[in-house]
């Protein structure tokens, strides 16, 4: 575990000398202290053994709120630089999609993979220039009273805006899936939600493509 200059924290799994997946959590309106994402933690634990040559870096924002989106963006930028991998895929869940898009202009970034990503209409998408945007979204995702969520129609609109700018990518709607892959149980470990394994399979497909798009086995 590493503390960044901003006060955010970074948790690393696997080697980061060749390529890394930097994982960014969602958020909420209230300005609360950052937490580790149960969904991203579950994914990393499941996928890291399958991709031993990829490093996985999970980011814990200092404050996880879209009212402090600029702080979250700074945290993510510091995380990318701290990881130091020459090739980076940004894995952004919910609000982490907006954060990932905002820092996609970092030189090492090749792709943003959004999981139920929040892509507000006001968000500048030009950092995606020269990168790839892939979106995976659950068909049952909705914002509920007291529970953040993102409509698939909203992420689709953001994806199409990116496509209009010439950004390559793919949009996949996951039937029967909700917002997120896991919840944290009272004993501390992530517990998968329905369709979590389908989410993991689609993320693995993208990591296979990322890993194979340029060899990372050579020194």
Domain locations in the chain as residue ranges: 2-213
127: tokens are 């950092």
Residue 11: the pLDDT is 96
Give the pLDDT confidence of 129-165 residue by residue, as tens digits.
999 999 999 999 987 766 678 999 999 999 999 999 9
The mean-pLDDT minimum among 1-10, 153-162, 199-208 falls in 1-10
**What is the number of other CB atoms lying within 10 angstroms of the CB of residue 113?**
26
**What is the number of other CB atoms lying within 10 angstroms of the CB of residue 20?**
27
34 phi, psi to nearest 5 deg = -65, 155
Residue 147: the pLDDT is 67
What mean pLDDT comes out for the span 4-30? Answer: 92
Residue 186: the pLDDT is 86
pTM exceeding 0.85: yes
Residue 216: the pLDDT is 41
Please choose, from the candidates 12, 2, 16, the residue with its C-alpha nearest in 3D space to the C-alpha of residue 85.
16
Please choose, from the candidates 113, 135, 110, 104, the residue with its C-alpha nearest in 3D space to the C-alpha of residue 23.
113
DSSP 97: H
Task: Give me the CATH topology for the region 2-213.
Answer: Rossmann fold (3.40.50)
Residue 146: the pLDDT is 65
Residue 214: the pLDDT is 64
Q: Report d(CA 117, CA 170) in Å as an integer.
A: 13
**What is the number of other CB atoms lying within 10 angstroms of the CB of residue 49?**
10
Q: Report d(CA 205, CA 55) in Å as an integer.
A: 16
């Amino acid at each position: 575990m590493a503390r960044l200059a901003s006060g955010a924290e970074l948790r690393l799994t696997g080697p980061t000398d060749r390529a890394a997946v930097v994982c960014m959590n969602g958020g909420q309106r209230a300005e609360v202290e950052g937490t580790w994402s149960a969904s991203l933690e579950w994914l990393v634990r499941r996928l890291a053994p399958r991709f031993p040559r990829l490093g996985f870096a999970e980011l814990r924002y200092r404050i996880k709120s879209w009212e402090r989106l600029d702080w979250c963006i700074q945290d993510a930028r510091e995380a990318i630089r701290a990881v130091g991998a020459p090739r980076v895929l940004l894995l952004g869940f919910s609000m982490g999609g907006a954060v990932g898009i905002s820092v996609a202009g970092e030189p090492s970034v090749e792709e943003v993979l959004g999981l139920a990503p929040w892509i507000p209409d006001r968000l500048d998408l030009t950092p995606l220039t020269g990168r790839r945007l892939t979106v995976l979204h659950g068909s049952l995702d909705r914002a509920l009273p007291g529970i953040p969520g993102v409509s698939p129609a909203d992420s689709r609109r953001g994806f199409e805006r990116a496509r209009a700018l010439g950004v390559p990518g793919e949009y996949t709607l996951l039937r029967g899936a909700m917002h997120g892959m896991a919840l944290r149980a009272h004993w501390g470990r992530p517990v998968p939600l329905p369709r979590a394994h389908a989410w993991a399979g689609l993320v693995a497909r993208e990591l296979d493509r990322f890993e194979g798009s340029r060899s990372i086995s050579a020194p």
